[in-house]
Structure 1
Amino acid sequence: MRTRATTITLTAAALLALTACSSSDDDSPAASDSGTPVAEPTVSVPAAHEADDVKAAVGTYTAAYFAADTDTAYGMLSARCAKAVDRASYAAELKQAKDMYGADHPATDVQAEVSGTLARVSYGVKGLPALAQQAQVWKLEGDAWKYDAC
């Protein structure tokens, strides 16, 4: 019974990690540290950063996450998420996911809706249907898509 409780707890922790701090469906401007809304700049996104590019990023991030490749996965967090997530805690979270599930869980059936520098991505996780994601937020920072669902 203790093993089952531990498994349930670890499954919940992994699912929470993949969906942690999801942003709401609210598309209102972000607030600055002072609480004053900050308008998102209008940016023209080059064709190279459309849906196929963000889909590739999701695939890389998911593979790194389950392989406990902290350098890759943490490097794919948006600046906002990296600021909010301690690297050592994140590394422990990835190790726990790898120990619990193994490393071979690529993203499947990745669908992305891109609007400017933001994307909402839905996908499955091979062998782990409970960890499927819906409308997960990704953000284009510089020339790379970053996980922004923290």
Structure 2
Amino acid sequence: MRIRVLPAATAVAFSLLTGCSPDEGAADRGSGAAAVEPSAGNGPPAADVRALTRGVEAYVTAYFGNDAPTALGMMSERCRGVLVHEAEHAGKRGEEAYAAAVEEIAEEHGPRKATDVTVDEVSGDRARVSYRVGGLPEFGQEGQPWSREDGTWKYDAC
């Protein structure tokens, strides 16, 4: 059995994608992309569902597609601050460490897409989203936090 220790930057990037909480229930959901379209008066507004679904899909595609600048741009300001702080404690520059980690993840797992995207709740500029990452159940998420900044939904699970 080969045990591999992840470099600090990879551990930071993995924890940022996974929100530091493994999702054991993600593998139980079906496959295929499916955004929840709320009925009138129930659930989050349809515009938020569409925007969050697009955001999750774009973030996962960038993350697993070795597009660190796009993935970083989709992170909340708070998460970018956490990333920089964690990287600096590992003796690296935040953006460079994140780019190296994303490159390693992309090489290891290849391009992936978000599937089964479900907007669990929206409250003002905060939301919770659940989804799977195609072929990688260990990256699935339940209730992952997202926040709206300047009108755009950003990954906020740090």
Q: Percent identity?
A: 45
Q: Matched residues in 1 for 2:59 and 2:98: separation? A: 13
- Which amino acid is 1:109 matched to? D
Question: In 2, are the aligned partners of 1:17 and 1:93 still within 8 Å (CA)?
Answer: no
SS at match of 2:135: coil
1:1-150 correspondence to structure 2 within 5 Å? 1=1, 4-6=2-4, 9=5, 13=11, 15-20=14-19, 49-85=47-83, 86-103=94-111, 105-112=112-119, 113-150=121-158
Task: Give the aligned length.
Answer: 120
- Which amino acid is 1:16 matched to? S
Q: Matched residues in 2 for 1:107 and 1:98: separation? A: 14
Q: TM-score, normalised by structure 1?
A: 0.72
* CA RMSD between the two structures: 2.1
Distance change in 2, residues 1:81/1:17 (3 Å): closer
Question: In 1, are the aligned partners of 2:64 and 2:106 still within 8 Å (CA)?
Answer: yes
Q: TM-score, normalised by structure 2?
A: 0.69
- What residue in structure 1 maps to residue 30 of structure 2? none
- What residue in structure 1 maps to residue 27 of structure 2? none
Structure 1: unaligned runs, 5 residues or longer? 23-46
Question: In 2, are the aligned partners of 1:119 and 1:139 still within 8 Å (CA)?
Answer: yes
The CA deviation at 1:146 is: 0.5
Distance change in 2, residues 1:128/1:58 (3 Å): same
Structure 2: unaligned runs, 5 residues or longer? 22-44, 84-93
Q: Matched residues in 2 for 1:97 and 1:80: separation? A: 22
The CA deviation at 1:92 is: 1.2
Relative contact order (C-alpha < 8 Å, sep 6+): which is higher?
2
